[in-house]
């Protein structure tokens, strides 16, 4: 199967979901073209999904890989409260996967894309000995409205959506809700948009574990934190998994105590877990002791 045939197939698959008025040129040329609106800001993120790191071909179907690769990048848009606009997908696969596997990969990716109204506007395709995916997502917010990591202030409460530790627990047990969650993580797009409208002060997604990601948020905001409430530990998961397990893709955020937060957004519970302090930047107290910022680290 030749490259142009594969690209033609992807183009036909990608044409299926509803178009996006902002994208005036998608797959088929050297670049995709975005025609912006002056009242908006556009947000950009890119995330790898690498065979042997983020998935394996034994455990993940082609559609799982497509879903997960897009979900990882969408989760970054969710973290800033953005509405998805378009994505570019760079995919490298061994030559023997160039036919059916690639098509099923795009089906899985485009099914998730359709749910969040994000268009596939281009990317790259190459052959390589392992499966490599890099997904760039573009989202939008009103001008100046994106939620940054750096906005947490002493006195703000700390919250998370959903449950923690489920994905790593699923990875360890290969069964149940946690395993399904690991295979097909859910980006918290609706929650991110709702939280932006509520005026929260800082937000990020939990991809490398609560302890490490809260540490990063505190560094960016130049604040400390204390975890003073029970964590929403996923069923079956340990406290260790909830603190340090990666790939939950829940939202970690802070809000002024003046803001009244609902207990749930849609069906997604919100848990208050702690307090931002004037402590040493990046330092987190948990059960009276400093919490080590360990979690999923690529270079450790």
Write out the binding residues for a second copy, residues 178-217 only, by CB under 8 A.
Answer: 204-205, 216
Which of these segments, 9-17, 84-92, 103-111, 180-188, binds a second copy (CB under 8 A)? 84-92
- By CB under 8 A, residue 6 contacts a second copy: yes
- By CB under 8 A, residue 298 contacts a second copy: yes
Which of these segments, 10-18, 143-151, 238-246, 253-261, binds a second copy (CB under 8 A)? 143-151
- Residues 237 and 284 sit within 8 Å (Cβ to Cβ): no
- Taking residue 271's Cβ as centre, other Cβ atoms within 10 Å add up to 17
Phi, psi of 188 (to 5 degrees): -90, 55
- Residues 219 and 282 sit within 8 Å (Cβ to Cβ): yes
- By CB under 8 A, residue 272 contacts a second copy: no
15, 16, 95, 114: residue in contact with a second copy (rule CB under 8 A): 95
160, containing H or E segment: strand 157-161
Nearer to a second copy, 3 or 230 (CB): 3
Nearer to a second copy, 43 or 158 (CB): 43
Which of these segments, 145-153, 222-230, 233-241, 264-272, binds a second copy (CB under 8 A)? 145-153
Nearer to a second copy, 167 or 221 (CB): 221
Q: Smallest Cα–Cα separation from 138: which of 44, 205, 48? A: 44
Task: Find the shortest distance in angstroms from Cβ 45 to a second copy.
Answer: 4
Q: Give the three-class secondary structure for 151.
A: helix
Q: Restricting to residues 9-68, which ones interact with a second copy according to CB under 8 A?
A: 24-25, 28-38, 40-48, 50, 52-53
Nearer to a second copy, 109 or 136 (CB): 136
- By CB under 8 A, residue 261 contacts a second copy: no
CA distance 111 to 75: 16
10, 62, 65, 79: residue in contact with a second copy (rule CB under 8 A): 79
* Angle separating helix axes 3-15 and 100-115, nearest 10 degrees: 30
- Residues 41 and 145 sit within 8 Å (Cβ to Cβ): yes
Task: Find the shortest distance in angstroms from Cβ 127 to a second copy.
Answer: 4
| Dihedral, CA of residue 59, residue 62, residue 72 and residue 295, to nearest 10 | 20
Task: Find the shortest distance in angstroms from Cβ 268 to a second copy.
Answer: 19
Length of the chain: 300
- By CB under 8 A, residue 246 contacts a second copy: no
| 174 Cβ contact list (under 8 Å, min separation 6) | 59
Phi, psi of 236 (to 5 degrees): 90, -25
- By CB under 8 A, residue 103 contacts a second copy: no
Nearer to a second copy, 123 or 165 (CB): 123
Which of these segments, 58-66, 86-94, 182-190, 266-274, binds a second copy (CB under 8 A)? 86-94
Q: How far is CA 173 from the centre of its chain?
A: 23
Phi, psi of 178 (to 5 degrees): -60, -40
134, 163, 186, 250: residue in contact with a second copy (rule CB under 8 A): 134
- By CB under 8 A, residue 289 contacts a second copy: no
């Amino acid at each position: 199967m030749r490259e142009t045939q594969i690209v033609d197939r992807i183009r036909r698959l990608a044409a299926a979901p509803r178009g996006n008025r902002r994208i005036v040129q998608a797959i088929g040329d050297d670049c995709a073209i975005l025609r912006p609106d002056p009242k908006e800001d556009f947000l950009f993120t890119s995330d790898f999904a690498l065979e042997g790191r983020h998935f394996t071909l034994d455990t993940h179907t082609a559609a799982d890989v497509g879903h997960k690769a897009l979900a990882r990048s969408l989760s970054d848009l969710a973290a800033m409260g953005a509405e998805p606009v378009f994505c570019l997908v760079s995919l490298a696969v061994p030559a023997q996967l160039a036919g059916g596997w690639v098509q099923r990969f795009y089906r899985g990716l485009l099914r998730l894309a359709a749910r969040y109204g994000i268009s596939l506007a281009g990317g790259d395709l190459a052959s390589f000995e392992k499966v490599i995916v890099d997904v760039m997502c573009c989202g939008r917010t009103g001008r100046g409205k994106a939620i940054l990591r750096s906005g947490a202030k002493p006195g703000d409460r700390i919250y998370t959506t959903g449950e923690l530790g489920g994905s790593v627990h699923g990875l360890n047990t290969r069964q149940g809700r946690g395993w399904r969650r690991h295979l097909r993580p859910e980006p918290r797009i609706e929650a991110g948009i709702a939280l932006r409208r509520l005026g929260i002060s800082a937000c990020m997604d939990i991809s490398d574990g609560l302890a490490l990601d809260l540490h990063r948020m505190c560094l960016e905001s130049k604040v400390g934190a204390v975890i003073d409430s029970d964590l929403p530990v996923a069923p079956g998961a340990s406290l260790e998994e909830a603190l340090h397990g990666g790939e939950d893709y829940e939202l970690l955020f802070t809000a002024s105590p003046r803001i009244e937060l609902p207990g749930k957004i849609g069906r997604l519970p919100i848990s208050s877990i702690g307090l931002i302090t004037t402590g040493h930047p990046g330092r987190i107290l948990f059960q009276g002791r400093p919490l080590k910022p360990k979690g999923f680290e690529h270079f450790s």
